[in-house]
């Protein structure tokens, strides 16, 4: 990306929205490729996102292909603008799909998604590569000409995705490292904002829960 394009992108924001509650997010089961629906509470959470999002214009609205992310986007009021991107799907947990960390550690005491092998799934290196591609795509959208957001504050993108992938994405955004995501906790149906401090990529807000979203 050229210097001029970087300067243009540096006025923009990426709004990360984690999907609402599912049965497995409530129980702590790793949910990667399993297409599990929102709970009734998760739908209530998703509708509560509509308030803070309604006042804004987004130049792009991107969503994971999983139904929990798509439905959250729709209930949050951005379904008509949504474009599904396979690159936003959750970490592929391989043989650990559907299991909790506590259960896995009964036989693998030191296990962690952040540093342990993931047989038949995605390694940290692989998900970092995916995040790198997403960041490059986001920066390209932010660098496009014109000011699409109200008030001339720059361009905005909404990204509806999953806890681990959004943490990886944020880690790569601020430090070119997926591993930094280990230090970023993320609740269901929350809003986080990636942006800039002058030319440096930065986290401007993290894990904000809209009013009425518990």
Per-residue three-class SS string for the chain: CCHHHHHHHCCCEEEEEECCCEHHHHHCCCCCCCCCCECHHHHHHHHHCHHHHHCCCCCEEEECCCHHHHHHHHHCCCHHHEEECHHHCCCCCHHHCCCCHHHHCCCCCCCCCCCCCCCCCCCHHHHHHHHHHHHHHHHHHHCCCCCCCHHHCCCEEEEEECHHHHHHHHHHHHHCCHHHHHHCCCCCCCEEEEEEECCEEEEEEEEECCCCCC
pLDDT tens for each residue of 51-77: 999 989 999 999 999 999 999 999 999
Give the mean pLDDT of 103-118.
Answer: 96
Average pLDDT, the chain: 91
When comparing pLDDT for 211 and 44, which is higher? 44
pLDDT confidence of 203, banded at 50, 70, 90?
very high
pLDDT confidence of 146, banded at 50, 70, 90?
very low
Give the mean pLDDT of 174-179.
Answer: 97
pLDDT confidence of 212, banded at 50, 70, 90?
low
Can you read off the two tokens belonging to residue 206?
């993290």
Residue 89, pLDDT > 80, answer yes
91 is in an annotated binding site: yes
pLDDT attached to residue 9:
60
90 is in an annotated binding site: yes
Judged by average pLDDT, the poorest of 20-24, 148-152, 182-186 is: 148-152
Q: Can you give the C-alpha Rg of the chain in angstroms? A: 17
Task: Spell out the domains of the chain, with CATH numbers in brackets.
Answer: 3-208 (3.40.50.1240)
Give the mean pLDDT of 199-206.
Answer: 95
31 is in an annotated binding site: yes
Residue 2, pLDDT > 60, answer no
| Catalytic positions, written as ranges | 19, 90
CA quadruple 88, 91, 95, 98: dihedral sign: negative
Residue 5, pLDDT > 60, answer no
35 is in an annotated binding site: no
206 is in an annotated binding site: no
pLDDT attached to residue 147:
42
């Amino acid at each position: 990306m050229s210097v001029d394009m970087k300067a243009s992108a540096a006025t923009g924001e990426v709004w990360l929205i984690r999907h609402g509650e599912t049965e497995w997010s409530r129980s702590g089961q790793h949910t990667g490729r399993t297409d599990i629906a929102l709970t009734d509470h998760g739908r209530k959470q998703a509708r509560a996102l509509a308030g803070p999002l309604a006042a804004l214009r987004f130049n792009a609205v991107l969503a994971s292909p999983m139904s929990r992310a798509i439905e959250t986007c729709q209930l949050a009021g951005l379904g008509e603008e949504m474009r599904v991107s396979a690159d936003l799907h959750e970490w592929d947990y391989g043989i650990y799909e559907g299991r909790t960390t506590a259960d896995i550690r009964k036989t693998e005491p030191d296990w962690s998604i952040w540093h342990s092998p993931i047989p038949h799934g995605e390694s940290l290196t692989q998900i970092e590569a995916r995040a790198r591609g997403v960041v490059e795509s986001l920066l390209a959208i932010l660098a496009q000409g014109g000011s699409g957001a109200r008030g001339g504050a720059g361009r905005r993108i909404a990204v509806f995705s999953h806890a681990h992938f959004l943490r990886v994405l944020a880690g790569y955004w601020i430090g070119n490292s997926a591993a930094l995501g280990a230090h970023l906790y993320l609740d269901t149906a929350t809003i986080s904002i990636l942006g800039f401090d002058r030319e440096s990529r930065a986290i401007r807000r993290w894990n904000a829960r809209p009013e009425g979203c518990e």
